[in-house]
Structure 1
C-alpha cells in the first residue's frame, strides 16, 4: 500500500465520523454530552459496545497471542458471561435507581466523600492507562503503514491519532459515541470476516476446510487444566468474570453508554445481546489469528519477534491491496471505537466527580462556563494520553493485551473491593481511611504476585490477581468498620 492510498482511506473514514458528529451535535448541551439525553436505542448501544469492548487490542493482540496461548483466551470470554449477568442483574438496577451520571456517585452515598473520590480516581487512572495502551497499537500501525515512509517521528503519529479523536468527540460526547461506535463495530467485524475469507481463498480452503485447518493446527486448544499455569481454566474463567465486572460494570466508560438507554429494561436487553455477540466475535478473532499463523507458515514467511506485529506485517507486506485496505479500516475502527468513548468518559468523570457538574444547567451563562471548562478537561486528558503512550513506547516489551489486563488487575482491584463491600454488607466504615486501604491493596497484591512461586509452592498468578486485589481491599475495609451511631 502506498502512503497516498493510506492517507486517502484515513481521510475518507474520518470525514464520515466527523459528519456523524455534526449531525448528532445539533442543539447539544451538557446533558447531551454526558447522557445523550437518555434517549439511545438499546440495540444501537449493544452493537456499538462490541467495538468498544474489543478495541484495537483484540484486533491485533488477540490474533497474535494465539501462538503463545492458543485459544485459551476463550476461557476468559466464557467467564465474561458470568460477569455480564451480574452487571445486568445487580449493578445496572442500582445505577438506574439512583439516577446516576457518574456511577461513582454510589460510593459517596454508601460510604462518604473520600470513598467516592478514591473510586473516581482509580477509574481515571485505569482508563488513562488502558486507553493509552490501546491507542499505542493503532499509532504503531499508522507508523508502519504511513509515517515511516515519510520519516515522521512516532510522537507526531500519536499526536495526529489523538487529535482526530478530539475533533469528533469534543462537542457531542456520548451521543456522538453511541453512533460512531456502531459504525466502527460494523467496520471492524466486517474487516475480520473479509480477511478470513481472503486467507482461506489463498490457501484454497472451504468453510469446512477452515474449521478443519484450525482444529488440526497447534493453535486450537481451548481448555487447560494444569493448576500451576496461568492458562488454567478456573483461573481464566473466574478472572474473566471479575474482569468483566470491573472493566464494564465498574467502568464509567462502558456504563455511561448503558445509562443513555431510555430505561433499565432496555439497558438489560442491551447487555444480554451484547454478551452473546461478544462470545462469537472473540471466537472469530482467535480463528483469524490461527489462520494468520497457518498462512505465514505455509508461505514460509518469517514470524516477527513481537506477536503484536504479525497482523500488520502480513497486511502491509504480503496480503493483496484489498486485504491491506480492509486491515487498515479494521484497526482504525477497532482502536478508535474504544479510545473515543474512553476520552469522553474520562471527561465526564472528572467534570462530574471532581468539578461537581450537574446534568441540567440553569442559565445560559452557566451553560457557557461549563462548556468551556469541559473543553479544557477534554483537551487535558487528550494531552495526558499522548504522554502516557510515548512513555509506554519506551518501556513496553509484552503483547499489549497482556499489559492491559495486568494493569487492570492492579488499578481496578480497589474498585472491586469497594463495590463488593458496599453491595454485600451493610457495614459502615471510617471513610477517611479508605484511600489508604486502596493504596495498600494494589501494592500488597503486586508483592504477592512477584513472590507467589516461592510463597505458594510454585503457584503462579495469572489475571486472577485482580480477585486477590479486590479481596485485600475488602479485608482492609473490614478493619475500618465503625458502629452506626444511634439516632
Structure 2
C-alpha cells in the first residue's frame, strides 16, 4: 500500500502553502496610485521586472509539474531522446529574438495578438486571441490535473479535492497581485523546487548500490542514456530532426505567440533585457531536463522493471516511500511550487488576453476602476474554467506528452499567422484567416490520428498519416503560411479584376 506524508512532512507542506500565499499577497498594491491600479500595472507589472527574474519565471512555467512528474517517467520507460527537443527549444528562442521581440517592443503593446491586429485587422486579432484562449485553457487543464496526482499520493485526497485545493490557493494571490505576484512567486518557487530536485537526485544515488557511478555505467551498457536518434521517421516523437525542427517551431509558437510567455517578456524593462531573459532561460531548461531525465534513469535501476506504479506516478511515489521525513515534505512542496507558478501565470495571461484583445476594443470607455474590477472578475472566471477542465483531463498517456500534443494542435496555425504577417508584405487579413483555418484543420486531423482515444477513420490514413506530436506545429505552420499566402494573392487578383 502507498504511504502518505508523515505529520512533519505535512507541516512543511502547509507552511510552504501559507508562506507563498502571504508572499504573493504582498504585491496587492504593486503600482497602486490614487487613481487605482492600471492595466499595465496589473498585467505587466509596470514593465519593471529585471531580466533574471523573468528568466526564472519562464523556466518555472516551462518545466512545471508536467516536467517534474512525467519526464522521469519518460526516461524510465525509454532513454534520453527527449533531450533532443531541448536543442530545438534553444534554436527557437534565437528566432524569436530576431523576428518577434522587436515587433512586440514597438509601441505600448500588452498582448501578442495586438501585433496581429496592427498587421492584419480586428477580425484576425480577435480570432488569434480566441485560439490562444482555447489552446491555453485546454493545455492548462492537463497541467492542473498533473499536480493532483502528487497531492493525491501525498495526502490521500481524490482528484476533485486535490485540484480544488491548488486552484483556490493559487487564485488568492493571483487575484490580488497580478503579474508582479506571479513572477516574484515564480522566482521563490523556482528556487524551492531546484533545491528539492537536487536533494532527491543526491538521495536517489545513495539508495542505489554503487551510487550514480554504477547507474551511469549500467545505463550506458543498456542504452538508457542515448540522446541522439538520426532516423527520418515522422511517426517517432524523439528523433534528432523532430527535436531540432519540431522543437524549434514548438518554441517559436509557445514563447513567441502564446500570451503566457509573451506577457512575461513584455514585462522586461526593454528589448535587450527581454532577449537576455529568453536566451538564458533556454540554458536553464536544458540543465533541468537533463536532471529530470537522470532521475528517471536512476529510478529504473532502483525499481528495475518490476515497478507496479504507472510511469507518471513513479517519481511522486518514490518521494513518498523512500525519502526521509522532512525531505519528502520539501519535495512535495517543490512540486506544488511548480504547479502553482504555472497555474497563476495561466490565469493571469488568460485574463489579460480576454480583457485587452476582446473586451476593451468593444468597450473602450471603461474607467480605470472598472477595468480593475473586470480584470479580477476575469481572473476568477478563468480559475473556475481551469478547475473544470482539469477534471475532464484525467486519463491515459504520459501527461507531459498529452499536454504538449494538445498545445501543438492550435500552435501550428497560430505561429503560421505570425510568420505570414512577419515574412510577407502581400498577405492580407482574409487570406490569413483562410490559412489559419486550413492549418488548424490539418493539425486537428493529425492529432485525431495520433491521439490514443481517437476514433480510427481508415480513409484519413491516406491523406493524414499518423505522425508524432513533435511534428504538429511545423506541419500546421507550413500549411497556414502556404495557404494563407496563396489565398491572399487570389483575393488581391479577384479584387483587381473586379
User: Given the two structures, how large is their TM-score scaled by the length of structure 2?
Assistant: 0.88
Matched, 1:110 2:119: yes
Matched, 1:385 2:386: yes
Structure 1: gaps spanning 5 or more residues: none
| Cα shift readout 1:88-111 (whole Å, capped 9, x = no counterpart) | 122111101233101100001111
1:207-222 correspondence runs (5 A): 208-222=213-227
What is aligned with 1:179? 184
What is the distance in 1 between the residues matched to 2:410 and 2:311? 25
What is the distance in 1 between the residues matched to 2:220 and 2:407? 32
What is the distance in 1 between the residues matched to 2:8 and 2:275? 42
Instruction: Name the SS for the 1:427 alignment partner.
Output: coil
Choose from 230, 243, 246 the match for 1:225. Answer: 230
Q: Does the 8 A contact of 1:40 with 1:261 survive in 2?
A: yes
Residues 459/166 of structure 1: CA separation in 2 closer, same or farther (3 Å cut): closer
Please say which of residues 335-344 and 214-223 is displaced more in the overlay. Answer: 214-223
Residues 24/458 of structure 1: CA separation in 2 closer, same or farther (3 Å cut): closer
Residues 357/200 of structure 1: CA separation in 2 closer, same or farther (3 Å cut): farther
Please say which of residues 451-460 and 328-337 is displaced more in the overlay. Answer: 451-460
| Cα shift readout 1:211-245 (whole Å, capped 9, x = no counterpart) | 43443344211111232341321122211111111
What is aligned with 1:444? 442
Please say which of residues 458-467 and 92-101 is displaced more in the overlay. Answer: 458-467
Residues 225/383 of structure 1: CA separation in 2 closer, same or farther (3 Å cut): same
What is the distance in 2 between the residues matched to 1:465 and 1:293? 30
Q: Does the 8 A contact of 1:195 with 1:326 survive in 2?
A: no
Q: Does the 8 A contact of 1:194 with 1:326 survive in 2?
A: no
| Cα shift readout 1:243-295 (whole Å, capped 9, x = no counterpart) | 11111111111111111111111111112211112111111111111111111
Residues 425/458 of structure 1: CA separation in 2 closer, same or farther (3 Å cut): closer
Q: Does the 8 A contact of 1:32 with 1:172 survive in 2?
A: no
Structure 1 runs (4+) greater than 6 angstroms displaced: 456-459
Q: Does the 8 A contact of 2:413 with 2:480 survive in 1?
A: yes
What is the distance in 2 between the residues matched to 1:445 and 1:22? 41
| Cα shift readout 1:1-50 (whole Å, capped 9, x = no counterpart) | 44644542332112222222232222532322111111111111112221
Cα offset, 1:189, TM superposition: 1.5
Q: Does the 8 A contact of 1:296 with 1:302 survive in 2?
A: yes
What is aligned with 1:34? 43
Residues 301/171 of structure 1: CA separation in 2 closer, same or farther (3 Å cut): same
Q: Does the 8 A contact of 1:147 with 1:157 survive in 2?
A: no
Q: Does the 8 A contact of 2:167 with 2:387 survive in 1?
A: yes
Residues 77/249 of structure 1: CA separation in 2 closer, same or farther (3 Å cut): same
Please say which of residues 434-443 and 370-379 is displaced more in the overlay. Answer: 434-443
What is aligned with 2:197? 192
Cα offset, 1:314, TM superposition: 1.5
Q: Does the 8 A contact of 2:414 with 2:477 survive in 1?
A: yes
Choose from 243, 253, 272 the match for 2:279. Answer: 272
What is aligned with 1:73? 82
Cα offset, 1:182, TM superposition: 0.7
Cα offset, 1:427, TM superposition: 1.3
Residues 256/448 of structure 1: CA separation in 2 closer, same or farther (3 Å cut): closer
What is aligned with 1:413? 412
Q: Does the 8 A contact of 1:428 with 1:483 survive in 2?
A: no
Cα offset, 1:399, TM superposition: 0.8
Choose from 39, 49, 55 the match for 1:46. Answer: 55
What is the distance in 1 between the residues matched to 2:473 and 2:297? 29
What is aligned with 1:164? 169
Residues 447/41 of structure 1: CA separation in 2 closer, same or farther (3 Å cut): closer
What is the distance in 1 between the residues matched to 2:344 and 2:25? 16
Cα offset, 1:446, TM superposition: 3.5
What is the distance in 2 between the residues matched to 1:353 and 1:460? 34
Residues 401/280 of structure 1: CA separation in 2 closer, same or farther (3 Å cut): same
Q: Does the 8 A contact of 1:143 with 1:157 survive in 2?
A: yes
Choose from 336, 342, 346 the match for 2:340. Answer: 336
Instruction: Name the SS for the 1:171 alignment partner.
Output: helix
Instruction: Name the SS for the 1:100 alignment partner.
Output: coil
Choose from 148, 170, 175 the match for 1:139. Answer: 148
1:148-159 correspondence runs (5 A): 148=157, 153-159=158-164
What is the distance in 2 between the residues matched to 1:243 and 1:225? 19
CA RMSD of aligned residues (A): 2.6
| Cα shift readout 1:335-355 (whole Å, capped 9, x = no counterpart) | 122111111111111111111
What is the distance in 2 between the residues matched to 1:218 and 1:310? 21
Instruction: Name the SS for the 2:253 alignment partner.
Output: helix
| Cα shift readout 1:313-335 (whole Å, capped 9, x = no counterpart) | 22222333244223202211121
Cα offset, 1:459, TM superposition: 7.1
| Cα shift readout 1:116-154 (whole Å, capped 9, x = no counterpart) | 111111111111111111111111211121143xxxx42
What is aligned with 1:400? 399
What is aligned with 2:15? 12
User: Given the two structures, how large is their TM-score scaled by the length of structure 1?
Assistant: 0.90
Please say which of residues 14-23 and 367-376 is displaced more in the overlay. Answer: 14-23
What is the distance in 2 between the residues matched to 1:316 and 1:325? 9
